[in-house]
A = this chain, B = another copy of it.
């Protein structure tokens, strides 16, 4: 079987936090990540223009355990004071054994 059931965790944040979050993701066991430049407007009512070229979407494919640790970390460290979006959903991954 070529597919493994894993989780895709997506974090969208100011680019300022990118490197410290990536370090943490590796500590938690993520073996890779994908970065995409984005712009956006968050639940605090900030305008897209204020963030033009300033946000980053971080995506990692991880096991459920690693995903839960990442989510707890993001919720605990960033949600109180910063505009961060984080969500997870199950994905069927080609050769997913490489990621766990």
Chain A interface (Cβ < 8 Å from any Cβ of B): 2-3, 6, 8, 12, 22, 31-43, 48, 55, 57, 61, 71-72, 74-75, 79, 84-96, 98-99
Contact = CB atoms under 8 A, between A and B. Distances in A.
7 smallest beta-carbon distances between A and B, as pairs: A86-B94, A87-B91, A34-B40, A31-B43, A87-B93, A32-B42, A2-B75
A89 B90 contact: yes
B89 A92 contact: yes
Given A87-B94, A95-B75, A34 B55 contact: yes
Given A33-B40, A33-B41, A57-B34, A2 B72 contact: yes
Contacts of A35: 38-40, 48
